[in-house]
Amino acid sequence: MDLHIHTVLSPCGGLDMGAPDIVSQALATGIDCIAITDHNSCGNAGAVMEAADNTPLVVLPGLEVQTQEDIHVLTIFPLLERAREFEAWLRQGFLAIPNEPDIFGEQIYLDRNNDILGEEPLLLVHGVQYPIDDVVAETHRRGGFAVLAHVDRPSFSYVAVLGEVPKHYPVEGVELSKNLSPKAAEEWRSRLEGHSLVRSSDSHSLDTLIKEHGSLMVLKEVSFEEVLMALQNRQGRRVLWPWGG
């Protein structure tokens, strides 16, 4: 399971993050399910979902939202249509900052075969004018779930901006970075007691998209519903502690 992957739509994303390329790399490394989470957009999620047609890989549509407080949160949806509706809402909170590809990088829309459909003119990586509480509530209203991204990082994380994550904060999961040592991860585990913890690759290039950067979940089958049940620790579904032991 790897719930945090960028494509060429993210300006910081490598140009190797095309739709069929992500699918074949995920399959080659033995990943069963990925979420496509570009910054503030789900514009390439459909291309990756289509590229995975007739393969065993399950692709969930999502976004990595940057909130008003500059917190990154993954919002993942059962259907592309729900993700698009959420993005339409999110865009009402965009600041109209044009992208400058020479400075920030290109933001490319593509189809399932990597044919380029166009470029996003507005800079996607910026804090939208909605606070984290509103973003999480709107995600739930659209049938999605929310995972606080890389909370161990010193910037763009809930902890860096607002401090400790409240025990009953209404997100389904909290993500820890792939590079944490087992010891540091254990410390976060006790700080985040009560939350389901996942590890993801946050891949911006294909070389980091390996199963060792992801998480293991106990599921009956691979689907949005089952992943949600695992995050909620319901009916025997669960997330295994990524660092083992």
Residues of this chain that interact with Zn ion (CB under 5 A) are 64, 72, 149, 202
Among the listed residues 20, 31, 53, 72, the one whose alpha carbon sits nearest the alpha carbon of residue 209: 31
Give the residue with the Cβ less far from Zn ion, 152 or 202: 202
The DSSP letter of residue 235 is T
Sign of the alpha-carbon dihedral angle for 12, 84, 148, 200: negative
Residue 43 Cβ vs Zn ion, minimum distance, rounded to whole Å: 15
Residue 37 Cβ vs Zn ion, minimum distance, rounded to whole Å: 6
Give the residue with the Cβ less far from Zn ion, 32 or 64: 64
Residue 141 Cβ vs Zn ion, minimum distance, rounded to whole Å: 23
Give the residue with the Cβ less far from Zn ion, 51 or 71: 71
Residue 133 Cβ vs Zn ion, minimum distance, rounded to whole Å: 18
Q: What are the strands, taking DSSP E only, across the chain?
A: 2-5, 33-39, 58-66, 72-76, 108-110, 116-119, 145-148, 173-176, 197-199, 217-218, 238-239
Residue 145 Cβ vs Zn ion, minimum distance, rounded to whole Å: 17
Give the residue with the Cβ less far from Zn ion, 145 or 229: 145
Q: What are the strands, taking DSSP E only, across 16-149?
A: 33-39, 58-66, 72-76, 108-110, 116-119, 145-148
Give the residue with the Cβ less far from Zn ion, 72 or 142: 72
